Amino acid sequence: MVTHSIKEAVLMADRIVIMEKDPGRVVRDMKVPLSHPRIRKDAKFLEVVDRVYAILAGQTQSEHLELGTAPGEPGGTRALPHIAFNELADLLENVSALPNNRADIYRLAEELRVNSDHLLRLTDAAELLGFVNITQGDLILTFPGETFADAGILTRKEIFAARIRRLPIFKWLLSILQASENKRVKWEEIKKALELEFPAEEAERQVDTAVNWGRYAEILAYEDNTGTIYLEVGEGIPSTLPQRGAL
């Protein structure tokens, strides 16, 4: 069970059932071995909170498992998390200011003033984009994550564009646009195609998220009056990033 406050769950519950959001299977049924009343700043209390976050956040796996498959291909298509770019930047900047570019996930909820669900969406997005690795409830910045955190606006857009081009769902969308007349496609057509992978409401959110990400990266544009997604003129500007491993 994902609550809006993991700390509140640990504070009150004697048992916590943790489920995956997709497809909703139980991944852990754990007892909370703490007597009442519980103290939020107690080391044992924080240890349980850390353990719950570690289970929910999981561990970063190999890239082909993390990224999933494109729509229409065998295997699961990983959904794009619905996040705000400024909040993602805040997360990465916060971690970059810590020793060894490493942070306990449970501490970030208070630092960023977001609830547990929202924090996990942010960490999910950061992991999917390759900005962080997750291990034992900790976030560790990768080189692209460090570079993004330290960069200015234009360089952040370049980095973000490079990262989303790796994602199977985004590659799929770009291939449809490249093959379409005038590099344009109706928003509704993309939504209908994604309904084969996601429920209708989630398919709609996925199109919105993909367009928002593409617009931020200056790869995609959207024409509101016609409901049309199209490629930006000059999409594919060469990167001027410092060379230290592949982004």
Note the pLDDT tens digit of each residue in 201-214: 999 999 999 999 99
Ordered DSSP codes for 19-35: E-SSS--EEEEEE---P
Residue 166 reports pLDDT greater than 70: yes
Identify the sign of the CA torsion 148, 149, 155, 160: positive
* CB burial string 129-158: b at 16+ within 10 A, e below: bbbbbbeebbbebbbbbbbbbebeeebbbb
**Banded pLDDT at 225 (limits 50, 70, 90):** very high
CB atoms within 10 A of CB 186: 13
Hey, is 200 helix, strand or coil?
helix
Q: Confirm whether 93 is domain-assigned.
A: no
In angstroms, the first-to-last Cα distance of the chain is 35
Six-digit token string for 104? 């306990």
Q: Confirm whether 87 is domain-assigned.
A: no
Q: Confirm whether 188 is domain-assigned.
A: no
Q: How far is CA 172 from CA 165, 178, 219, in A?
A: 10, 10, 14
Q: Confirm whether 181 is domain-assigned.
A: no
Q: What is the pLDDT of residues 99-150, one digit of tens each?
A: 999 988 878 877 888 887 888 889 889 989 999 988 877 888 998 999 999 9
What is the 3-class SS of 161-187, one letter each residue? HHHHCCCHHHHHHHHHHHHCHHHEEEH
* pLDDT for the residue 25: 60
**Banded pLDDT at 173 (limits 50, 70, 90):** very high
Boundaries of domain holding 11: 6-57
Q: How far is CA 17 from CA 9, 14, 114, 124, 196, in A?
A: 10, 10, 22, 20, 30
Six-digit token string for 124? 């999910």
Six-digit token string for 103? 């942070």
Q: Confirm whether 44 is domain-assigned.
A: yes
Q: Confirm whether 166 is domain-assigned.
A: no
Q: Confirm whether 161 is domain-assigned.
A: no
E strand segments, 78-183? 102-104, 132-135, 138-141
Identify the sign of the CA torsion 94, 100, 102, 107: negative
* pLDDT for the residue 56: 59
Q: Confirm whether 132 is domain-assigned.
A: no
Q: What is the pLDDT of residues 37-56, one digit of tens each?
A: 877 777 777 677 666 666 55
Domain count of the fold of the chain: 1
Q: pTM of the prediction?
A: 0.73
